[in-house]
Amino acid sequence: MLSGSVLIIMLIFFSCLVTVVSPLLLFPSSILTIYYLLSETNLFLQPFANVTGSLNENGVCQCSVYLPDTTFPVQKVEMLEITARVLSEKFEIELIKVSQYTKAIEMYELKIRNLTIKVQHMESTSVSYTELDFQLLKLEINEMQRLVTQLKSTLVGSNVIVEQLYVEIRNLTLMVNDLESLDKNNILAIRREIVTLQNRLKECEKDRNQTTPPSYFPPGSCGHGGIVNISKPYIVQLNWRGFSYKYGAWGRDYSLQTPEKDLYWVAPLNTDGRLLEYYRLYNSYDDLLLFRNARESRTTYGEGSGTAVYNNFMYYNIYGSRDMGKLNLNTNTLALRKTLPNAAYGNRFSYAGVTWQGMDFAVDESGLWVIYSTEESTGNIVISKLNDTTLDVLHTWKTRQYKPSVSNAFIICGVLYATRPVSTRKEEIFYMYDTNTEQEGKISIIMDKMLETVQSINYNPSDQILYVYNDGYLVKYNLIFQPMLP
């Protein structure tokens, strides 16, 4: 006969067993396991049998219940609980995997849609795509195909979404292969064109190497047709005041009386990029290279990088005014000061990237010039020929070139040449104005430069060299002129 506690335990066990077994109904294998355990414990057999009762001596009714097995199978129940827990954990792991793969599938569905749009665009347009475009598409498709294959092998049973993805990826691969085969003709045509251009370039290089040396024109001569080319830059040195003095000018004095005389000058501005305070003179190029025998002087009148030296006099813009200054280099005294009529000043209409250069003095074979702008010209370049003795304006030309869009300018044989930046390492001589014919035009001569900004350019007719002040460095360029047209 079972005690009341044993019956209570059995009832608790059956209630727990129903709770544990219910989530496992998703898995047929779990049901078979539970059925096996129940059959082993004889729980499906008749649990008790009715017998005839009797009265005791006190008149109380008595009856007996006979069970087939009086021993409760505790060990088997524990095995059942452990098995149920393991199956539940496995179910949770599989559920997490399905959730992760669902997110991955959604992400790759979006990628497939994007790739489909890209391929459709390739089909509908006439643009010729390179082999690299197709290779990139193939890499993306192969990555998705690898994931879908992994999903198919991981998930138990057939999954409609995965199978559909796999089919779509295969179709996409076939489509890209077809497009690549259709584009081969275009690729071959482009390659043939490239080979043709390479051959033409080699022929051009061969012809260039076989050309005759450029024509020679004596210093001071204008019997040529203007600039046709320019040499690579020759970096002389950093200015003597150091890298911080990025603004300034330098060059070689041009004297009609003694054109063979050497007098090199270097005039860096203060670090504010405005005040010309110190300059140095060298009696030879070797002295300049070796910083030897320098004559250093101080002046407090100059402004900007538009300085030029002609016949042993330095010409510059007087600080804070529209006045021109003529400095005697022998005595370091201001020999003359004169107003340039209507000239804009005070950093008005300066060159692009260069401040405080309202006046830019230039020297050519015929003498002294000044390049500037006026309010009347609305910032366009104005050129005036000066009397170097009195600083009187002899003649004026107005151009249609806006000065602040020009990085610098110089004059050769009465022809103004203007430059502009192409990149941080390239400058272009792009504009010219001939004061002899009053004609202007566009040209294109590329100048290599060491650093980004060209602060000043001075031409010297004695050696036909451009002296360029490039972010504190002293740089030279040789010019090549074309013969005069018949």
Which of helix, strand or coil describes residue 255? coil
Q: So what's the pLDDT on residue 56?
A: 75
Of 141-155, 208-222, 360-374, 459-473, least confident by mean pLDDT is 141-155
User: Residue 207's pLDDT band (boundaries 50, 70, 90)?
Assistant: low
- 332 phi-psi bin (left φ>0, alpha ψ -120 to 50, beta other): left
Q: In what order do the strands lie in the sheet with 264-268?
A: 248-252, 264-268, 275-282, 295-310, 313-318, 323-328, 333-339
Mean pLDDT of 198-209: 66
User: Residue 307's pLDDT band (boundaries 50, 70, 90)?
Assistant: very high
The CA distance from 252 to 465, in Å, is 9
Q: Are strands 295-310 and 275-282 parallel, antiparallel or unpaired?
A: antiparallel
Distances (CA, A) of 46 to 38, 72, 373: 13, 15, 119
Confidence check: pLDDT of 306 > 70: yes
The answer to whether the beta carbons of residues 335 and 327 sit under 8 Å apart is: yes
The DSSP letter of residue 161 is: H
Q: So what's the pLDDT on residue 209?
A: 59
Confidence check: pLDDT of 296 > 70: yes
Q: How many CB atoms lie within 10 A of CB 430?
A: 19
Mean pLDDT of 136-144: 69
**Half-sphere CA count of 137, side-chain side, radius 13 A:** 27
Residue 395's nearest CA partner among 407, 411, 384 is 384
Q: So what's the pLDDT on residue 112?
A: 75
Distances (CA, A) of 345 to 68, 158, 304, 341, 350: 121, 84, 11, 11, 9
Q: So what's the pLDDT on residue 259?
A: 66
Q: Are strands 465-470 and 61-62 parallel, antiparallel or unpaired?
A: unpaired
Instruction: Give the tens place of pLDDT for each residue, 99-128.
Output: 777 777 777 777 777 777 766 666 666 455
Mean pLDDT of 150-157: 60
Q: So what's the pLDDT on residue 25?
A: 38
Of 33-37, 193-197, 461-465, least confident by mean pLDDT is 33-37
Q: So what's the pLDDT on residue 109?
A: 74
Q: So what's the pLDDT on residue 173?
A: 67
Domains in the chain: boundaries:
1-72, 99-211, 224-483
User: Residue 175's pLDDT band (boundaries 50, 70, 90)?
Assistant: low
The most confident of the ranges 70-79, 150-159, 244-253 is 244-253
User: Residue 305's pLDDT band (boundaries 50, 70, 90)?
Assistant: very high
What's the whole-model pTM score?
0.59
> Which residues lie below 8 Å from residue 432, measured CB to CB, with a gap of 6+?
226, 415, 416, 417, 418, 440, 441, 442, 443
Residue 362's nearest CA partner among 302, 296, 310 is 310
Of 255-269, 334-348, 360-374, least confident by mean pLDDT is 255-269
Mean model confidence pLDDT for the chain: 80
Q: So what's the pLDDT on residue 388?
A: 95
User: Residue 13's pLDDT band (boundaries 50, 70, 90)?
Assistant: very low
Enter the tokens of residue 33: 């396991």
Class assignment of domain 224-483? mainly beta
